[in-house]
Amino acid sequence: MQLTPEHESVRDTLTRFIDKEVNPHVDEWERAQIFPAHQVFRRLGELGMLGLTKPAENGGAGLDYSYGAVMAEALAHMHCGGIPMAIGVQTDMATPALAHRGSQELREEFLAPAIAGEYVACLGVSEVGSGSDVASVKTTARREGGDYVIDGGKMWTTNGTQADFCVVLANTSEGSSHKNKSLIVVPMKTPGVSVARKLVKMGMHASDTAQLHFDSVRVPQRYRIGEEGMGFIYQMEQFQIERLWGALNAGAMAQRAIDTTVAYTRERRAFGRSILDNQWVHFKLAELQTEVAALRALSWQGVQEVVAGQDATRTATMAKLKAGRVVRAVADGCLQFWGGMGYMDETPISRIFRDGRLTSIGGGADEVMLQILSKFMGTFPSGH
């Protein structure tokens, strides 16, 4: 896909912002295991970066998804994975259904302030016991008068301790697990919403992740996104974008791993020459670079499909699967060439090693991607 000067302007704006206002603080935010989301998002909102692909009537730029893809890659310029992920949740995971399916009133109340960076959003899909198996979620929302009363809980909720609202997938009726769910916007200050705990993770330290409880949480039915019972379908549509975002960002993170490793091994010397001068090292880096290029090509094929209005589920699924494996191979291969320093918490490659591992889990595990692809191929056993 041919990128324009306008695309590169988005990349340049983000890169300058990251160099000036994010990277100098990343180590501090990683140690604190949280970053000031409202502060960072407000600045991104002022720069027009939180609504690139969102409707102009809600304060967005109304651009096609290729601009969001450029942003997903550019965010990997941050010296951690957690803050890009938190931003990605805001732009490409918690708000696509709201933007495309939400009523005008709902978009004015929640999407517009999210685009402006005034509100932080989170997405409530995964639960204890039903991570990648979205159809099995147990949270319920029963009708009572003009309201929904929500009971249940959500797990691994990115931005969960700082969010202003959560887009919750809940069962609104009995019946087929694919037709009984709805997406509902829940303001986090609503009585009955509680953060059960802030989760401690292996990586993505600067991103706050929460376990949420909903105890008789009452919200008006007008907070439902789109039609009742269509929540599973809307979430599958959101997953296309989420998985492409993950592939694009992970690919750019893998590229950063290679670039920093080339620079480090060129300077580091052993046995009278630079580490990079060893054939195994520069050949291995060339091999890893080829994998990253292949991943990027696949990811951008998915972007083109989205821009053309096509169903990108198959390509997004392949890209997400490939991304998880490429970023793992790249981080592991590169870390080896850093020697003892690669095992130090202070080095960028060790952080990429920890942060990138989530790519094969979040947004649907590798095994779920393989199941989806098997169905596309017609090889998945019938009756399952």
CA distances from 176 to 4, 96, 136, 179, 234 (A): 45, 24, 11, 5, 16
Residues 239, 332, 205, 185, Cα dihedral to 10°: 0
CB 347 within 8 A of CB 223: no
- Are the CB atoms for 111 and 102 separated by under 8 Å? yes
Strands (E), the chain: 121-124, 140-144, 147-158, 165-171, 181-187, 193-198, 209-220, 224-225, 269-270, 273-274
* Element of type H or E holding 125: none
Shortest CA distance to 200 belongs to which of 34, 371, 2?
34
Is there a contact between 81 and 203 (Cβ–Cβ < 8 Å)?
A: yes
Contact partners, residue 263, CB within 8 Å, separation at least 6? none
Q: Check: CB of residue 199 under 8 Å from CB of residue 241.
A: no
Q: How far is Cα 260 from Cα 337, in angstroms, rounded to an integer?
A: 11
Tell me, what amino acid is at 111? L
Closest CA to 259 of 301, 289, 217: 289
Task: Answer yes or no: are the C-beta atoms of 192 and 216 closer than 8 Å.
Answer: yes
When computed from its CA atoms, the radius of gyration of the chain, rounded to whole angstroms, is 21
CA–CA dist 42, 113 (Å, integer): 10
Active site residues: 242
